[in-house]
């Protein structure tokens, strides 16, 4: 699950956000406030969500963070096995200080699009200690980053996000930070990062060593999947993919799409023959009509990938000729009924039985119908009405809201399914009648699920 998914759940936004798109952060915040038509095509910094994102990270992910102290720039940003990218991890510790703070970059890793950091800020004065301990420390201006080239040109920041990590002392805050740039990075570039509360000439520079990537030429058109703002009655739109670039950390798709609400949908065939869907290995970051950027959920081992599959054609990473593949309808998007919120002000819930069966999973329930077992993708989820504790493969998981019976159907929060089954799910919406010059009534539809 992405950081904005967790933020959305923490603040009880209506429904759920789709794949995170940095350019649409403002749109989704507006949606949560039932605001009017938002700006959606301006590439903005993800800083807009930072204040709440840190609070959400502490509330939702605090247990996981507290369990580990020795984070690095890979383990702090990617789940699972990071060993395929250890060769690209810069573990040299770098620091800079002024009279109030010390900024430390503990480690970093990069590809041609994004730099990942683990860094910390320590207070050196009583005034700094008090501010560091306050909620106001985390803001839009806490951090900044930029890249300089050998000739002195600057590559500008396009988006930035961070979340809190555990810190060993009260006078220190520690973060995982990612910074993406408009222009591609090269091995001759230098990246700089600074804390916005320090002197203007106090920043840390470090060399950029981009991890290698593979570009697959596509040059084909086909059907995409519907985005958050597509009307449910609309048919999936067309887009043309020019090429796809995979690195261990990100995926870049260059395309032409007349409709910004239609998004790419790709699969990976691994060398062992297994198929991984986009929902399983990517989380959306940002894009426009010509390019869309994703961050990998896990570090990708490029040597383990045989091909990219899109528009029912298979494109091997070695550049050999593409071949058609049989369409798998079990991986097509579908809708399920939007259930009512489980608590006043909470997001919409999902029908456990309908979701499981439409995914092709197995569903069982007890005689009373208030306890169900849902299985899909080697993950079994046990839910009970009125209990905020679910079992996922036998392990207890705390839910945001307790499942409840609604008209004889067990309704549950979406997060447990998204996490355990690695699917994308969100509620589509459209603009309704204009209420005032600055407010439009939103119409929320059914859940749109992408396996």
* 385-405 residue pLDDT tens: 999 999 999 999 999 999 999
pLDDT score of 447: 94
Residue 33 has which token pair? Answer: 């406030």
* CA–CA gap between residue 11 and residue 32 (Å, rounded): 9
pLDDT score of 58: 36
Does residue 17 carry a pLDDT above 70? no
Across 408-414, average pLDDT: 95
Question: What does the angle CA 202 – CA 206 – CA 209 come to, to the nearest 5 degrees?
Answer: 160
pLDDT score of 168: 73
* CA–CA gap between residue 423 and residue 249 (Å, rounded): 19
Does residue 5 carry a pLDDT above 60? no
Q: What is the dihedral of CA 226, 356, 328, 430, to 10 degrees?
A: -10
pLDDT score of 24: 34
CA distances from 428 to 56, 74, 97, 440 (A): 23, 33, 48, 16
Does residue 273 carry a pLDDT above 90? yes
Residue 240 has which token pair? Answer: 């043309």
Confidence of residue 235 (pLDDT cuts 50, 70, 90): low
Backbone phi and psi for residue 424, each to the nearest 5 degrees, phi listed first:
-105, 140
Considering only residues 204 and 226, tell me which one the structure prediction assigns the higher pLDDT: 204
Do residues 226 and 234 make contact, with C-beta atoms less than 8 angstroms apart?
yes
Q: How far is CA 236 from the centre of its chain?
A: 23
Burial of 378 per CB tally in 10 Å (0-12, 13-18, 19+): exposed
- How many of the other CB atoms lie within 10 Å of CB of 168? 9
Q: Closest by alpha carbon to 388, among 373, 372, 399, 404?
A: 399
Q: How far is CA 55 from the centre of its chain?
A: 17
CA distances from 309 to 48, 262, 315, 394, 422 (A): 34, 18, 6, 34, 18
Residue 414 has which token pair? Answer: 């979406």
Does residue 261 carry a pLDDT above 70? yes
Q: What is the pLDDT of residues 145-165, one digit of tens each?
A: 999 999 988 998 888 999 999
Residue 337 has which token pair? Answer: 């009924």
Cite the DSSP H helix spans in 183-337. Answer: 278-281
Considering only residues 121 and 428, tell me which one the structure prediction assigns the higher pLDDT: 121
pLDDT score of 434: 75
Q: What is the DSSP string of 242-257?
A: EEEEE-SSEEEEEEE-
Highest mean pLDDT among 47-51, 102-106, 136-140: 102-106
Considering only residues 439 and 166, tell me which one the structure prediction assigns the higher pLDDT: 166
Across 255-269, average pLDDT: 89
Close Cβ partners of 142 (under 8 Å, ≥ 6 residues apart): 50, 162, 195, 196, 197
Does residue 3 carry a pLDDT above 90? no
Do residues 429 and 31 make contact, with C-beta atoms less than 8 angstroms apart?
yes
pLDDT score of 283: 87
pLDDT score of 67: 37
Q: Under DSSP, is residue 290 helix (H, G, I), strand (E, B) or coil? A: coil
pTM of the shown model? 0.80
pLDDT score of 7: 47
Confidence of residue 233 (pLDDT cuts 50, 70, 90): low
Q: Closest by alpha carbon to 82, among 181, 267, 211, 244?
A: 211
């Amino acid at each position: 699950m992405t950081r904005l998914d967790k933020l959305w759940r923490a603040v009880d936004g209506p429904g759920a956000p789709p794949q995170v798109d940095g350019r649409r952060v403002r749109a989704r915040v507006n949606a949560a406030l039932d605001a009017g038509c938002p700006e959606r095509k301006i590439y903005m910094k993800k800083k807009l969500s930072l204040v709440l994102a840190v609070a959400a990270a502490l509330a939702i992910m605090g247990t996981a963070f507290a369990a580990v102290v020795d984070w690095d720039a890979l383990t702090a940003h990617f789940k699972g096995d990071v060993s395929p990218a250890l060769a690209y991890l810069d573990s040299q510790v770098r620091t800079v200080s002024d009279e109030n703070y010390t900024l430390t970059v503990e480690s970093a890793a990069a590809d041609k699009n994004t730099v990942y950091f683990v860094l910390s800020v320590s207070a050196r004065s009583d005034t700094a200690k008090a501010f560091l301990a306050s909620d106001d420390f985390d803001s839009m201006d806490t951090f900044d980053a930029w890249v300089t080239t050998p000739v002195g040109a600057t590559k500008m920041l396009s988006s930035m996000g961070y979340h809190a990590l555990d810190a060993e002392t009260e006078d220190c805050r520690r973060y995982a930070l990612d910074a993406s740039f408009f222009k591609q990075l090269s091995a001759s570039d230098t990246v700089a990062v600074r804390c916005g509360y320090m002197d203007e000439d106090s920043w840390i520079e470090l060399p950029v060593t981009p991890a290698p990537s593979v570009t697959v030429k596509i040059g084909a058109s086909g059907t995409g999947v519907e985005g958050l703002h597509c009307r449910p009655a609309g048919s999936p739109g067309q887009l043309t993919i020019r090429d796809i670039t995979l690195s261990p950390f990100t995926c870049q798709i260059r395309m032409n799409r007349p409709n910004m609400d239609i998004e790419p949908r790709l699969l990976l065939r691994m060398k062992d023959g297994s198929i991984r869907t986009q929902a399983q290995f990517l989380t959306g970051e940002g894009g426009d009509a010509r390019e869309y950027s994703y961050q990998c959920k896990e570090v990708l081992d490029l040597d383990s990938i045989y091909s990219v599959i899109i528009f029912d054609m298979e494109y091997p990473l070695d550049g050999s000729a593409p071949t058609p593949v049989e369409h798998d309808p079990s991986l097509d998007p579908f809708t399920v009924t939007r259930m009512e919120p489980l608590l006043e002000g909470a997001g919409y819930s999902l029908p456990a039985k309908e979701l499981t069966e439409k995914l092709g999973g197995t569903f069982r329930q007890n005689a009373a119908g208030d306890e169900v077992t849902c299985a899909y993708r080697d993950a079994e989820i046990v839910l009970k009405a009125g209990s905020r504790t679910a079992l996922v493969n036998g392990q207890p998981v705390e839910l945001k809201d307790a499942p409840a019976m609604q008209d004889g159907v067990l309704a549950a929060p979406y997060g447990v399914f998204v996490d355990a089954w690695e699917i994308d799910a969100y509620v589509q919406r459209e603009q309704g009648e204009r209420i005032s010059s600055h407010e439009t009534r939103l119409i929320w539809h059914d859940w749109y699920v992408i396996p």
